Chains A and B, each alone.
Chain A
Amino acid sequence: MTTEIMPGLALQKVDERIMTLNVGPQHPGSGHMRIVVQIDGDYIVACDPDPGYVHRGEEKMAEYRNYITNIPHLERPVIHDSCNVLYPYVLGAEELLGIEVPERAKYIRVIASELNRCIYIMYWLAIYGIFLGHSTMFMWPAGDREFLIDLMEKMSGARVTHAHFVPGGVRNDLPPNFEDVCLRQVNYFEKRIKEYAAVFYDNPILISRTQDTGVLSKQDAIRLGTTGSVLRASGVDYDLRVKEPYDVYDELDIHTNVMKEGDAYARSRIPWLDMMESCNIIRQALQKMPKSGSVRTKLKPNPKTKVPATVYKRVESGRGSLGCYIVSDGKTEPYRLKLSVPSFRNLIALPYLLKGEKLGNMPSVYWSLNYWPVEADR
């Protein structure tokens, strides 16, 4: 019923049965974005996600900074997952600058990346809990994150934005006795998240609310270009840590969690299973890591790429495949930097999933997409 009278200006015929709700940006269930929802009674007729409220111009900023000074600001899009969001950039910059990374640094990166994945998923899980009205599931993950945040603080010195990965390795070596502390805390963390099953994942009310809601079939998941936990919950066995291993992931034994249902419950369960897998990976990496050695190849100040070149690297972040495309014209700064973020790719599925659902399913479906508004806007 939309007639476009001018480019960008459209007239819409109003149906009296349809109510338009602006969920966000000032809404406790939206995050830094807006979802324009049209409802007929309790059923959602149409849904239009409207991101862009937290656009930070990260890609443009990267063109004015050299390869080292790009590090602190490029991890800002997802501060809870800051190691993973920086990972593809660091891999790309290493290839452009032609640096070799020491073996120990690669293992430290894997450990930091997996710890950060757990930290991000715990934050996501806390919000998923409070979106479903489960206040205990808000407090428990938010509290248990602290174990891992303390580990990251010991490792990098910062609690949230670590800026720990640099082209050529990691910034600092591990503190003494880190391996023992890490193993102990990760074991306790795993024991603790297994308890969430009793209060959250096996809760009959949660299952009745999220099962068979927002079903994304395998074909649609591939067609819409979703990634990460959303894709794996729809039955596609796709994990970049296994399919395109980077750093030392090919030396580790990684099990990919896949569920066939494709509903909101499966999408909320996959990240939880991923956390347990991350604990396994951390234990393996701690075992295989060289006990001593350099962790960083020293760079010249203001390093330059040798020739004009392009590079595209991607890693498996807490939300899915996160890519970084760097174009270099041989200067100290990148000519162009493009982040391909999983949040935006998953958000595309939202209008398809919410159509025909009840309004009460909106928070459970929306947040099960493993979406982070700041990352989608960059």
Chain B
Amino acid sequence: MSVIAPKFKLSEFIKSILDDAFWTILILNLIGIPAVMMILFFIEMPVIHGELLTPFLALSWIADPTRTLPIIQSFMETDIFRVMAFPGFGFAALLAAGTIFVERKMLAKLQLRVGPFYCGKLEGILQLMGDGLKLISKEIIIPAKADKPIFWAAPVIFVGAAAAFVALIPVAPGWVVADVDLGLLAVFAVIGFFPIITILSAWSANSKFPFIGGIRALFQMVSFEIPLILSLLGVVILTGTLNLSEIAASQSNFPWIVFLPVGAIVFFITMLAELERIPFDLPEAESEIVAGWLTELSGMMYGLVQLGTYLKLYAFAALFVVLFLGGWNGPSIVPPFPAEIITDGITMGPVTLKVPGLPIFSQEMLNGTLWFVLKTVGVIFFIILPRGVFPRVRVDILLNLGWTKLIGLAFVNIFIALGLLYAGVLGPGGLQ
């Protein structure tokens, strides 16, 4: 008798397989078809050669590239693609995941160890996925006397606020989720949300260590928001706009860090404090207050907060790039798409195809994205680096730094900007 399956019966086995198949098909139909329909609802179906492309012709799209490419292109012009995939959440989450991997490996090299090594065969590249699976599979424990609705909602709102921040970042010319004229003001508004979410989560946990951590986070974020906003005013004075895309476009000749290095330094330091990264990770100081305001969060709630934190890290680094390092501007390194393919088509064996809309992404957009990603990764590297070098500062030293030194330096930066503007170095009649 088999030990593994003592009561094995072929009929039962076949029945279970049929059961599984039934439920799989049912769930796919119930979820998949509405999801596909919802996506299709947002896509404006193109008319090609006098024929409206419909989902019913799906099989013929796969076979015929002349029909596939226009569909993909029209899909990429929809808002849902921008929000979910490219300049929005998916792109940011991909960069954030890369950040976590690089952070782990880089710190490991700095500290004479190997870091994640086994998961995913290649230098532990799947470690993050393993961590995510672990967090999802863990039980979510809510403290008995917690304010449950707020406690549940706080991590979700945290990720939402971080995603809203990401949505304001222009990645390439024209590629931004929300191109608002008061973009920088919207950024300040979103940043203003984080201390509120933090203190709500900490207070609703009804526990001592999260409470102290929440108060610390509140202190830190509120006192560093003022130098943060002040340090960005120099750029606004010089460009005369709050639109982030226009600010990025205004740096086609030189990045603002050349003229406003003081503002860039102040913004970088305040950024570290807003992100709660070492040396400013007081709200999560584990040797004093366990994990600060994250102490009572368990399972995927903690995972969501971590996701939000790294999205925020990407967004701040991207904001630094847009405001001080010239955004997408840079020398052209992506070769232009060969024009003869568009006009003459590709010869594939006996068939010559003329594919409409062949360069899915324009050269400008690819080049801009490449420069943007390179610069952002560079800034993220410098955000990660202090973690291996510095210990944690103390609350009073931190507040002293924020309220006296950084605000003073931010005003110096504003005076530099005003001086440049009125001396006519920049602006009309000057360099630009």
Within the complex, what minimum Cβ distance (angstroms) separates A36 from chain B? Answer: 12
Is there an interface contact between B395 and A360, defined as CB atoms closer than 8 Å?
yes
Is there an interface contact between A132 and B208, defined as CB atoms closer than 8 Å?
no
- The residues of B that contact A54 with a CB separation of less than 8 Å are none
- The residues of A that contact B344 with a CB separation of less than 8 Å are none
Given contacts A29-B287, A359-B288, A360-B288, contact A132 B112 (CB under 8 A): no
Given contacts A29-B287, A205-B391, A359-B288, contact A133 B208 (CB under 8 A): no
List residues 144-176 of chain B with CB under 8 A from any CB of chain A.
none
Digit string of A358-371 for contact with B (CB within 8 Å is 1, else 0)?
11111100000000
A89 within 8 A of B: no
A50 within 8 A of B: no
Given contacts A28-B290, A133-B287, contact A139 B394 (CB under 8 A): no
- The residues of B that contact A359 with a CB separation of less than 8 Å are 212, 288-289
Given contacts A133-B287, A360-B282, A362-B288, contact A139 B111 (CB under 8 A): yes
- The residues of A that contact B111 with a CB separation of less than 8 Å are 135-136, 138-140, 143
Given contacts A19-B208, A143-B113, A360-B282, contact A132 B287 (CB under 8 A): yes
Digit string of B279-315 for contact with A (CB within 8 Å is 1, else 0)?
1011001111110000000000000000000000000
Is there an interface contact between B290 and A27, defined as CB atoms closer than 8 Å?
yes
Interface centre among B112, B286, B391, B395 (most CB of A within 10 A): B391
CA distance A361 to B391 in the complex (A): 13
Is there an interface contact between A358 and B395, defined as CB atoms closer than 8 Å?
yes
Interface centre among A138, A200, A209 (most CB of B within 10 A): A209
A292 within 8 A of B: no
Within the complex, what minimum Cβ distance (angstroms) separates A118 from chain B? Answer: 18
- The residues of B that contact A21 with a CB separation of less than 8 Å are 208-209
CA distance A42 to B212 in the complex (A): 9
B1 within 8 A of A: no
- The residues of B that contact A133 with a CB separation of less than 8 Å are 278-279, 281, 285-287, 391-392
Digit string of A330-366 for contact with B (CB within 8 Å is 1, else 0)?
0000000000000000000000000000111111000
Is there an interface contact between A134 and B390, defined as CB atoms closer than 8 Å?
yes
A131 within 8 A of B: yes
Given contacts A29-B286, A29-B288, A360-B282, contact A205 B393 (CB under 8 A): yes
CA distance A140 to B389 in the complex (A): 12
Is there an interface contact between A358 and B290, defined as CB atoms closer than 8 Å?
no
Partner of B113, one of A28, A139, A358: A139
- The residues of A that contact B209 with a CB separation of less than 8 Å are 21
Is there an interface contact between B288 and A209, defined as CB atoms closer than 8 Å?
no
Partner of A358, one of B281, B389, B390, B396: B396
A203 within 8 A of B: yes
A130 within 8 A of B: yes
Is there an interface contact between A208 and B397, defined as CB atoms closer than 8 Å?
yes
Is there an interface contact between A134 and B288, defined as CB atoms closer than 8 Å?
no
B356 within 8 A of A: no
Digit string of A184-215 for contact with B (CB within 8 Å is 1, else 0)?
00000000000000011001011011000000
How many positions in chain A have a CB within 8 Å of any CB in the partner chain? 32
Q: State the majority secondary structure of interface residues on A.
A: helix
- The residues of B that contact A363 with a CB separation of less than 8 Å are 287-288
- The residues of B that contact A209 with a CB separation of less than 8 Å are 391-394, 397
Q: From A133, which residue of chain B is reached at the shortest CB distance?
A: B392
CA distance A29 to B282 in the complex (A): 14
B388 within 8 A of A: yes
Q: From B291, which residue of chain A is reached at the shortest CB distance?
A: A28
- The residues of A that contact B140 with a CB separation of less than 8 Å are none
B387 within 8 A of A: yes
- The residues of A that contact B346 with a CB separation of less than 8 Å are none
Is there an interface contact between B279 and A205, defined as CB atoms closer than 8 Å?
yes
- The residues of B that contact A27 with a CB separation of less than 8 Å are 290
Q: From B387, which residue of chain A is reached at the shortest CB distance?
A: A135
CA distance A24 to B251 in the complex (A): 54
- The residues of B that contact A205 with a CB separation of less than 8 Å are 279, 390-393
Q: From A366, which residue of chain B is reached at the shortest CB distance?
A: B287
B110 within 8 A of A: yes
Is there an interface contact between A136 and B389, defined as CB atoms closer than 8 Å?
yes
B229 within 8 A of A: no
Q: From A359, which residue of chain B is reached at the shortest CB distance?
A: B288
Q: From A39, which residue of chain B is reached at the shortest CB distance?
A: B212
Q: From B392, which residue of chain A is reached at the shortest CB distance?
A: A133
CA distance A359 to B282 in the complex (A): 11
Q: From A20, which residue of chain B is reached at the shortest CB distance?
A: B208
B107 within 8 A of A: yes
- The residues of B that contact A200 with a CB separation of less than 8 Å are 391
Digit string of B192-215 for contact with A (CB within 8 Å is 1, else 0)?
000000000000000011001000
In the complex, besides A19-B208, A28-B287, 10 extra interface pairs with C-beta distance below 8 angstroms are A132-B392, A133-B281, A133-B287, A143-B113, A203-B389, A205-B279, A205-B390, A208-B393, A358-B396, A359-B212
Give chain B's interface residues, CB within 8 Å of chain A. Answer: 107, 110-113, 208-209, 212, 278-279, 281-282, 285-290, 387-397
Query: Can you offer 28 A-B residue contacts whose CB atoms are under 8 A?
Result: A21-B208, A21-B209, A27-B290, A28-B286, A28-B287, A28-B290, A29-B286, A133-B278, A133-B287, A134-B390, A135-B107, A135-B387, A136-B388, A140-B111, A143-B112, A143-B113, A199-B389, A203-B391, A205-B390, A205-B392, A208-B393, A208-B394, A209-B391, A359-B289, A360-B394, A360-B396, A361-B394, A363-B288
What are the nearest 6 A-B pairs in CB distance?
A133-B392, A29-B287, A139-B111, A134-B391, A132-B391, A363-B287
